[in-house]
Amino acid sequence: MTAAGEQRAKGFRDTAAGIVGNVLEWYDFAAFGFLAPYIAIAFFPSDNEFAGLIKTFAIFAVGYLMRPLGAILFGHIGDRVGRREALLLSVLMMIVPTILLGMLPTYAAVGLTAPILLLLLRLIQGLSIGGEFTASATFVSELAPEGRKGLHASLTMLGAILGILLGSGVAMVLSVALGEEAMTSWGWRIPFLMGVLLGAVAFWMRRSMSSSPEMKEIHSRRDQREHPLIDVLKNHRPAILRLSSVVLMQGASFYVVFVWLSTYLKEIVQHPVSNPLMLNTIGLACLLPVIPLAGWLSDRFGRRALLMTAGFGILFASWPLFSVFQRGEDGLILAGLVLFALFIGIAQGPTPAMMTELFPPEVRLTGIGIGYNVTLALFGGTAPLISTWLISTTGLSSAPAFYLMAGAGISLVGALGLPGPRDSTQHSMERSS
């Protein structure tokens, strides 16, 4: 193999290593969500099944509250020490709790200690979640050649979707194959123990990763910031606000459409959804081709054009689509879900590269981590709650559309300040200098 061929192969391996952690992270996310009823029985036995489920989802949510802290921790490591080191630690902090979760004694065995240990494991995973995606997006984008950063970085977002599909798919197959009794007794542990294989592959691949060219340059100049968090909050607040405004719509729409919609159809529209997981699976599968295509298009037409296309799509389609959902016809519901997935995918494709272009490399991971994770924690994780409150307050079944439309409007304003297609490369180079 020629030197150029070896370099391309090394770049491919490093990119794959950056992406694989997202698959593991969201595999665990989807598996925990799908297995929540079984976990509730194992760790929160109660005469009230719903109360146990609520406690399980509370544990699930608490992990997400750790995301901003994870962003600060991994931002500091990634900007001071290196992206590779941050990614190695991130995957370790996901692997170990996932394995231990699969081996955790239940309430019947150790009493109150069981849910306390479950909480601690989810807190550690929450820290990891706060660093994994932003660190991998930063690393892959910095590694990519000019003119292909949008496509390459979009693969980190694609890895997250693959992880969700893999996690929910494994959990669904086991539920069908083992049956209710076996799943309740021991079957719920299998998906987490299977995560060992994925985690081992991720760690092995990341051990041989190279530093990104920009981090090598920073180390050669000894230009690491002593306190990246203070630096980014003092000197880069406009970039944080722009990033937050752009990703707000994505967080809100993803959680409303792919987390809350089946509840909306069942409880609000009172349309029986025989298989909500299948509905979500179809919608998520639609994202698979759209995300890399949008990333590729953003390399040619600019991040702004794709993000504004998605913003206008969500802005003008949300109210009509929620009106369609109220009709309760399966074909129309599926068509609306696919259209939402199209707009969300168009936004998600260019986002990883866009984020890295907003900050200089010395504080890049810290800036991205804060802007992205705080926004998703505030406006993504709370989207189901806000949507339900809007319906209760207004009496309108289509009221969640207001939330998505407001998010789209804010994101459009943020996207207006992004560079266009001709100056995006120059903009990125200026940020790196």
Residues 269-307 pLDDT 10s: 777 666 666 777 888 899 999 999 999 999 999 999 999
Instruction: Calculate mean pLDDT across residues 384-400.
Output: 89
Residue 365 CA, distance from chain mean position: 16
> Which helix (H) or strand (E) element contains residue 127?
helix 113-143
Whether residue 177 has pLDDT greater than 80:
yes
- For residue 219, what pLDDT is reported? 72
Given this model, what pLDDT does residue 306 score? 97
| CA dist., res. 38 & res. 53, Å (int) | 9
Nearest-10 crossing angle of helices 228-235, 237-255: 100
Q: How far apart are CA 86 and CA 18, in angstroms?
A: 11
pLDDT for position 331: 84
Q: Where are the alpha helices (DSSP H) in 186-236?
A: 190-207, 213-221, 228-235
pLDDT at 255: 87
How remote is the C-alpha of 103 from its chain's centroid? 26
pLDDT at 426: 47
Report phi then psi at 254, rounded to 5: -65, -45
| Residue with tokens 């990703």, as numbered in its chain | 247
Length of the chain: 433
What integer best gives the mean pLDDT of the chain? Answer: 87
Q: How far apart are the first and last CA of the chain?
A: 34
DSSP summary character for residue 47: S
Helix, strand and coil content of the chain, in percent to the nearest 5, comes to: 85, 0, 15
Q: Does residue 433 surpass a pLDDT of 60?
A: no
CA 269, CA 288: separation in Å to the nearest integer? 29
State how far the alpha carbon of 283 is from the alpha carbons of 183, 214, 341, 344, in Å: 27, 37, 6, 10
Residue 69 scores a pLDDT above 70: yes
Give dist(CA 261, CA 99) in Å, integer. Answer: 31
pLDDT above 60: residue 184: yes
pLDDT on residue 176? 85
Q: Is residue 258 scored above 80 in pLDDT? A: yes
Overall pTM > 0.85: yes
Give all domains of the chain, ordered by start, each with its CATH number.
7-222 (1.20.1250.20), 225-433 (1.20.1250.20)
Q: Which conformational region is residue 275 in: left (phi greater than 0), alpha (psi within -120 to 50 degrees), or beta? A: beta
- Residue 407 confidence class, pLDDT cut points 50, 70, 90: very high
Q: Would you state the structure tokens that stand for residue 344, as one six-digit string?
A: 């969300």
Per-residue confidence (pLDDT) for residue 322, from 0 to 100: 93
Among residues 94, 92, 73, 84, which one has the least CA distance to residue 17?
84
Q: What is the mean pLDDT of residues 357-369?
A: 95
**Position 362 confidence tier, pLDDT thresholds 50, 70, 90:** very high
Q: What does the pLDDT read at residue 154? A: 96
Mean pLDDT of 337-341: 94
Cα-based angle 338, 339, 344 (whole degrees, multiple of 5): 95
